[in-house]
A and B are shown apart, each in its own frame.
Chain A
Amino acid sequence: MTAAAAPPLLEAHRLSFHRQDEPVFAPLDFRLHAGELALVEGDNGSGKTTLLRLLAGLLHVSEGRLLWRGAPWQREACAGEILFLGHQLGQKLELSPRENLAFAAGLHGRRDGITLDGVLDEAGLAGYGDEPVRRLSAGQKKRAALARLLLQPAALWLLDEPYANLDRHGIALVNRLLERHVAGGGAVLVSSHGAVGFHGGEPQRIRMHA
């Protein structure tokens, strides 16, 4: 098996982050291979968002080691391979979903054979593509942000509460995207209180303790 020989996409040894010399979460150990999904579980304030921001490279590792494809984590090494979707959606309210996506494509690149119309359709925003994001509902804003998952090429998705604000169809959309990404050899780290209806095998669980 070549997959077993390949180093994990992401590997953490005794990883922790300190805010003002106080650890935000207890040291974590986990490995995430390509084609795997991991759930980050924990109560409010247990550091789920902090962990995802840390893995995205927005925060600096305080203790422990973080490896990317077997080598110590470096910004240059994983530039463009990580897609982080946080609570702040990164959508400009004055722009339409289409304009926001076009900007994201200009910044991060786009997958081959993907059109903005196709992405908007699949995200359930057909007919709202040219409406300013300000006028969309909270769920539609979330869908506009999730549309980036369809657009951008990335090996690892870091999704912070991807189900928040979504209706039943939206949740089904997220599950569909997750399954497709994992089936295509991508890896996902999802933080969520809600149940994840993932049908691609039992996901790994990363338990957070404050």
Chain B
Amino acid sequence: MSGASLPQACAAMLRRDLTLAWRRRGDLAMPVLYAVIVAVLFPFALGPDLALLQRIAAGVVLVTVLLAMLLALDAMFASDIEDGSLEQLVLSPQPLAPMLGMKILAHWLATALPLIVVSPLLAGMLHLPAAAMPALLLALLLATPLLSLLGAVLVALTVGTRRSGMLLALMLLPLCVPVVIFAAGAVAAAQQGLPWLAPVAWLAAALILAVVLAPLACAAALRIALDS
């Protein structure tokens, strides 16, 4: 008998979830389209004032990306619980937390990465100065996985409750406040020509903390969810 090693199991998990995401790629386009439409609404609502749009561009892109991620977050464990895959995962000899970490990574790659790819386009539409673009992208690269990890814990906690989508939004959005403050702070500083690494470093520190703790919390929450 040959048991599966943890790296093998992690690779299998990542491969499976990315394959599934690719087979359901119609679903993946939706958060991106949503983000584009929301970002386009702002100039219509606020008028084509260049200075105003430049000032709000970074904030609009950040909040839009965040809301678009929220749309997709709900589905993170839903299908796995429905078809019994989660039971099999819990019963496997592999430690649950790293396996869930792989699931969160696959979810981030499938939902947040496309949003990051279109974000320069959104920022460009709102006339964000090119000088602030690197700060925006770096802030998004750190803030989106942080949101995926925080969101995963909340999804795991709200699994099995009715109307969990709404509950999830109400629980996650307050947690997003510091993330948005630091991310927007970095871009604002870059726009004014000030050093912007400090808020980015804070985001990175929070991300490292979340990478370690969130999968553990997720694993505990899902075990409780199955135990009923």
Interface residues of A (CB under 8 A from B): 19, 56-60, 79-80, 82, 84, 86-95, 99, 102-112, 132, 153
Contacts and interface: CB of A to CB of B under 8 A. Distances in A.
Contact of B13 (A88, A106, A112): A106
A132 B13 CA distance: 18
A107 B83 contact: no
A58 B226 contact: yes
B76 to A, nearest CB: 15
A89 B79 CA distance: 12
B1 A112 contact: yes
B83 A103 contact: no
B3 A109 contact: yes
Interface string B13-41: 10110011001100000000000000000
A6 B51 CA distance: 81
Contact of B83 (A92, A102, A111): A92
A90 B83 contact: yes
B46 interface: no
A102 B87 contact: no
A107 B227 contact: no
B1 to A, nearest CB: 4
B197 to A, nearest CB: 40
7 contacts: A58-B91, A88-B84, A94-B24, A95-B20, A99-B19, A103-B15, A107-B9
B2 A95 contact: no
A95 B92 CA distance: 20
Contact of B3 (A19, A58, A86, A153): A153
Contacts of A93: 83
B93 A79 contact: yes
